[in-house]
Amino acid sequence: MTSERVKLRQSFCGELEGSRIVNLDNLQEFIDQLMTHASQCSIQIILSGEKKAGLASIISSRCQLSYSFDNIKESSWSQWQITVGGNLAAVWGQMSTGGGYSKLHETMTTLGIPVMSSKNFVDTERSIGRWWEQQLVEVMAEAGRVGKKACRGTR
């Protein structure tokens, strides 16, 4: 389940708007890097772009002297792909509460957080469904083995 990977969509823009879901450990690491650089340079640091994968974001920044920093990350990244923990959790939560893409979209829009596409939602929903089905089969098979063993013991 956690091995699901989604390709990143890259967009560079002059200004980032709205809200994002951010891993606080990654944010702290990013701030530490900015502070280290700021102690050595008086040039302004700007946010230079964003890479998106559903709810996940990598926000890039750079020094105006073109010094590039690591990025603020939502999740664990591997080159241009991401294990999308936030996307998985959002879809799982909707499935668990009887919601769907429309409810997720409304919630995220209200919070000002860019939402994943409906295709990404459905693909993730199908992956979760397959995983749930696999877990159900395994649990039922184990229950059958236990029941069979218990019946043999009562004869």
pLDDT tens digits for range 50-75: 777 778 777 777 777 756 665 655 54
Range ranked top by mean pLDDT from 13-27, 39-53, 57-71, 87-101: 87-101
31-35, 56-60, 100-104, 129-133: least confident range: 56-60
Cβ pair 12, 48 in contact under 8 A: yes
Q: Which domain holds residue 33?
A: 5-153
Q: How many separate domains does the chain show?
A: 1
Specify the pLDDT at position 68: 60
Model confidence pTM above 0.85: no
